[in-house]
């Protein structure tokens, strides 16, 4: 386990979105809705299976002013971490 994986595993999310089985654009649309309700600095964890989210989520964060903390590959799914910015 590398340092980045350990650091991501230690993150305590304020909200968790289970997007397993959803395909583009649904994980991103659901994440937008949830993160809008969070306060600046809070963290959203997204659990998903869509490979496209690996590109969509970081790009959206950059555009929307949020901080993409990274992703972890797990058995059969991914965990993405986003910190609400502006």
Task: Tell me whether residue 61 is one of the annotated catalytic residues.
Answer: no
* DSSP string for residues in 2-53: -HHHHHHHT---SEEEEETT--TTHHHHHHHHHHHHSPTT-EEEEEE--TTH
Catalytic residue among 24, 29, 52, 55: 24
The catalytic residues are 24
């Amino acid at each position: 386990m590398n340092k980045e994986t350990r650091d991501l595993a230690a993150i305590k999310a304020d909200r968790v979105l289970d997007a397993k089985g959803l395909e583009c654009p649904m994980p991103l649309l659901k994440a937008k809705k949830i993160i809008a309700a969070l306060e600046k600095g809070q963290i959203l964890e997204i659990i998903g299976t869509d490979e496209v989210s690996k590109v969509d989520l970081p790009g959206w964060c950059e555009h929307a002013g949020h901080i993409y903390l990274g992703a972890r590959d797990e058995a059969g799914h991914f965990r993405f971490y986003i910190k609400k910015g502006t």
